[in-house]
Each structure stands twice: as C-alpha cells, then as structure tokens.
Amino acid sequence: MSDKQVLVKIEQLKKHFPITQGILIQRQIGAVKAVDGISFDIYKGETLGMVGESGCGKTTAGRTILQLYRPTEGKVYFDGTDITLIKREELRKMRRRMQMIFQDPYASLNPRWTISRIISEPMRVHNLNSGNARIKRVQELLELVQLNTLFQNRYPHEFSGGQRQRIGIARALASDPDFIVCDEPISALDVSIQAQVVNLLEELQKKFNLTYLFIAHDLSMVRHICSRVAVMYLGVIVELAGRNELYDNPLHPYTQALLSAVPIPDPRETRKRQRIILPGDPPSPVDPPKGCRFHPRCPIAKPVCSQEQPEWREVQPGHWVACHAVES
C-alpha cells in the first residue's frame, strides 16, 4: 500500500468529553476518553473498515476526523492540509470534499423538508448549481441511488428505512465529495436491504473514485466491502491490517475473540473452531485501565500488560498491532 496516495492521515487523535459538576459554577471533575490517541492512514480510493464493540469510540472517531467534533489533541491531515487548525469559512469549503452517511436513516433526515430540499441542501451551502440546474442535479442523484425521480416532492415519512438511507447517500454525494465516513450505514436496515445498500456504495465508489471509512459491527460485511480493517477497543486501535491478513492471521487477542464470534455457514468448521469468551464488560472510558486497555479481559495477559502501554508498531508489512505478546 506504500505506493498509494494518502488522502487522510490521522496522528495521535484524541477526543475527550468533559464531565462537569455544579450548577452556578461548573468545574470539570473528569473526562470521557472516547478516542484516546489513534494513528492511521486512509489511502485514496480505498475502503477502510473500523470495527469494535458498542461504545469503543468508532462513531466519535469518524465525527472527529470530519471535525464535527473538534479534537482534544492530535492532527487530521486531509489531502495534506491539517484541518484541525483551519477555521470556519476555510473549514466550510473543505467540508465540501468530506461527507458523512449517518447510522439512523429515520433521525438523519429533516421530517419537515421534501426530499428535493434535503438532497439540495449541500448544494445551497456550498453555492453549487442554482435554479433548474439544481433541480436537474437532484434528479440525477436520485437516479444514481436507484430511486424514482418523482419522489423528489415527497417527505421522509413516506419512505422505508432502505429508501431513506439511499436518500442519505444521495445527500452525501450532492457536493461531489472525495471522502465519505459511513457510520454503520446498514445496521438499522433489514438484512434483505443491507446487501443492496452495500452493493450501491461499491458501485458509487468505482464510478466516482470515492474513499470510505466504513464503521460497522458486522464483521462478515466488513470483509466483503473493505480493503483494510482497523480494530478499536476502548478508544484506541489495537490492530490494523489488510482484510484477508486480519481475518486469516489475527494477532491481537481482542481481534481473535471478535473473529471467533463470526458465524461460519459450514457446521463442521464451526465444531472445529474454538470460541473465545471474554470475561466481564469493557472498562469505563472515564477511567481506562493503566497499561494495555485490554489486559483486564485478556486471556494471555502478563504483568507488563498492566504497567506499560504497548507500542503501536508494524510487525509485518502493512500489519500494525499494539500488544506486548506479539513479536516483531
């Protein structure tokens, strides 16, 4: 992957949400460390998957990369520009090239707006097209996401979940972006609709050379659509590798436990496979464990794991991991 162009570069990104106390005078008594020092690259034209348990910080990471949340620390370079430093107007211009498809197709569309207005809003914000050209562009976008152009004057409540998500995809495409964060775009949809939406995303990627950060729970779907996969646990990334390398040779104990839970259609293979059951629940992001975040639940933890934070390092070409037990 070293010959590929880096579109998004993330360096030691952190997002902490303050916990305050008091009514008249509020003082900070702690912080929720939702994202706590992640570093990785996203290459132009690829789909990078991000997986992990609920509450591990995947969505916060996606929103912080797009600057919907301003980071507590760290850098985000988009096409060589550090977007953590730029301000309102300059950031607004940059946002034309970065969009998001939200998880909930029911909550992410304004119920008082027509579909035409929802899809054309990015064009209005970024001064793209006007008048009849804007109406024509809305119709083109509806056709791109395989919806009838006659739907443009209807309202979101008249559509199914799958159709609403297609409208969300059309809105994301309206400003001709280069990079789209897909925040669990299929988790709220019926299984029969999920494959259709994923296939649509793949077609659009090929057509417009889009770059995706695909956040998901479904590990089977991630293997289908993503070229590389990052595994997140309690605000940090514990492993990052190419799709086949990660699924065939997981190095981090947490990745191994996650993959052991993925259903296999062959009953004989299922019987052979050893299921890894992790004890307890993930610790609180308010007070994460010292050393390796995973050590309280890790089946192979050593004394060093509770004392020193493992180094994020490349153990094989393109395969990154943060674990004391993994040898370079």
Rounded to whole angstroms, the Cα distance separating 42 from 68 reads 18
Say what the pLDDT of residue 3 is: 66
CB atoms within 10 A of CB 200: 18
| CATH classification at residue 279 | 3.40.50.300
| pLDDT confidence band for 99 (50 / 70 / 90) | very high
E strands present in the chain: 6-21, 27-43, 47-51, 73-78, 81-82, 98-101, 179-183, 211-215, 228-233, 236-242, 313-316, 319-321
User: Is 182 a member of any domain?
Assistant: no
3-24 residue pLDDT tens:
689 999 999 999 999 999 888 8
Tokens of 207: 């057509």
Question: Are 286 and 33 in contact, with CB atoms under 8 Å apart?
Answer: yes
Instruction: Look at 93-102, 197-206, 266-275 and tell me which has the smallest mean pLDDT.
Output: 266-275
Question: Are 116 and 153 in contact, with CB atoms under 8 Å apart?
Answer: yes
36-70 residue pLDDT tens:
999 999 999 999 999 998 889 999 999 999 999 99
CB atoms within 10 A of CB 145: 22
User: Is 234 a member of any domain?
Assistant: yes
201-252 residue pLDDT tens:
999 999 999 999 999 988 888 998 999 999 999 999 999 999 999 999 999 9
Rounded to whole angstroms, the Cα distance separating 326 from 169 reads 40
How many folded domains does the chain comprise? 1
User: Is 278 a member of any domain?
Assistant: yes
User: Is 192 a member of any domain?
Assistant: no
Closest Cα partner for 213 from 3, 7, 36, 2? 7
User: Is 83 a member of any domain?
Assistant: yes
Half-sphere exposure of residue 93, counting CA atoms within 13 Å on the CB side?
Answer: 5
User: Is 120 a member of any domain?
Assistant: no
User: Is 202 a member of any domain?
Assistant: no
167-199 residue pLDDT tens:
999 999 999 999 999 999 988 788 888 889 999
**pTM, entire model:** 0.91
Say what the pLDDT of residue 328 is: 63
* Mean pLDDT score across all residues of the chain: 91
Domain span at residue 83 reads 6-21+29-45+56-97+229-321
User: Is 298 a member of any domain?
Assistant: yes
Question: Are 53 and 282 in contact, with CB atoms under 8 Å apart?
Answer: yes
Rounded to whole angstroms, the Cα distance separating 104 from 31 reads 27
